[in-house]
Structure 1
Amino acid sequence: MPRDLTLDAYRRLTESGRVAWDIETNGLEPAEAMIGTCQLHSPGIGTFIVTGVAGKVPPLLARLLVDTRVVKVFHHAPFDLSFMAHAWGVEPRNVACTKIAAKILSPGEMAEKYSLKYLMARYFGIFLDKRVRFTDWTADSLSDEQLEYAVGDVIRLLDLYDILSGKLQEQGLDDLYSECRKFLPAHVRLRLRGCADPFKY
Structure 2
Amino acid sequence: MSENPLVDGEISLRCVEKEDLTELYELIYSEDVPEWKQWDAPYYALEYESYEDFERSMLRRLETTQSNSDPDSIRIIELNGRIVGTISYYWEHRPSMWLEMGIVLYRSAQWGRGIGTRVLQMWSSHLFEQLPLARVGLTTWSGNERMMRSASKAGLQVEGRMRKCRIVDGKHYDSIRMGMLREEWEQMRSSDAGRNVNK
Q: Normalised by the size of structure 2, how large is the TM-score?
A: 0.28
Q: Flag the structure with higher helix content.
A: 1
TM-score w.r.t. length of structure 1: 0.28
Considering only CA atoms, is the larger Rg found in Structure 1 or Structure 2?
Answer: 2
Structure with more contact order per residue of length (Cα contacts < 8 Å, sep ≥ 6):
1
> Whose strand proportion is higher, 1 or 2?
2
